[in-house]
């Protein structure tokens, strides 16, 4: 990777103009940044070159570690939302309950590993529709099995 980056810098005559490389925290990229810094200093007298780890990636890793402490609660919400999302019957029942209780119906959403704040949005939708979801769970035993209990609700 370092050779490919160095080659591109040379091809576009940027070797003496580049001052930094920002990457994710993957170990190969950390090694690439270290190697690239060393090579640019040696080959092009670019002493000011630095490698930085992306602050957004670092923040995302910290948030993921924090979420691991309440992972069982999040799994319940994920399973519940997943079950509703794939079932036309449950979606229709939830929409009918929302209409009856005058709660804004929101389409069930699952979090996605590569979308950093998708867990937040999944939980936010769950909380906004919680009264309707509670009624759906009271009316449907398969939904009730997945519905988070009071201990889980303290976690999010």
Residue 18 lies in a domain: yes
Task: Judge whether 140 and 93 are in contact, CB under 8 Å.
Answer: yes
Are 113 and 45 found together in one domain? no
| Predicted pLDDT at 135 | 94
Torsional class of 45: left (φ above 0), alpha (ψ -120 to 50), beta (otherwise): left
Tell me: do 89 and 121 sit in the same domain: yes
- Our count of domains for the chain comes to 2
User: Quick one: pLDDT at residue 66?
Assistant: 81
If asked whether residues 29 and 88 sit together in one domain, one would say no
Q: Is 124 within the bounds of a domain?
A: yes
- pLDDT on residue 92: 95
Do the Cβ atoms of 80 and 148 come closer than 8 Å?
yes
The reply to whether 61 falls in a domain is: no
- Asked whether the beta carbons of 28 and 1 are under 8 A apart, the reply is yes
Q: Is residue 155 packed enough to be buried (19+ CB in 10 Å), middle (13-18) or exposed (0-12)?
A: middle
Alpha carbons 49 and 125: distance in angstroms, whole number:
45
* Among candidate residues 44, 58, 36, 37, the one with its CA nearest the CA of residue 15: 44
pLDDT in tens, the chain (156 residues): 888 888 888 899 887 777 788 888 788 888 888 888 787 777 666 567 778 888 888 888 888 888 887 788 888 899 999 999 999 999 999 999 999 999 999 998 899 877 778 889 999 999 999 999 999 999 999 999 888 877 666 656
Q: Structural domain of residue 105, as residue ranges? A: 70-153
């Amino acid at each position: 990777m370092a050779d490919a980056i160095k080659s591109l810098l040379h091809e576009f005559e940027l070797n003496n103009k580049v001052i930094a490389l920002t990457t994710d925290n993957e170990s190969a990229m950390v090694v690439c940044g270290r190697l690239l810094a060393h090579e640019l200093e040696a080959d092009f007298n670019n002493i000011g070159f630095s490698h930085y780890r992306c602050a957004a990636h670092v923040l995302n890793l910290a948030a993921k570690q924090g979420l691991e402490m309440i992972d069982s609660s999040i799994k319940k919400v994920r399973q519940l939302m997943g079950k509703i999302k794939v079932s036309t019957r449950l979606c229709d029942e939830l929409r009918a309950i929302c209409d009856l209780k005058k709660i804004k119906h929101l389409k069930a959403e699952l979090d996605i590993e590569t979308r950093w704040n998708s867990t937040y949005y999944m939980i936010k939708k769950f909380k906004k529709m919680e009264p309707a979801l509670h009624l759906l769970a009271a009316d449907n035993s398969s939904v009730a099995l997945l519905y988070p209990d009071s201990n889980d609700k303290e976690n999010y």
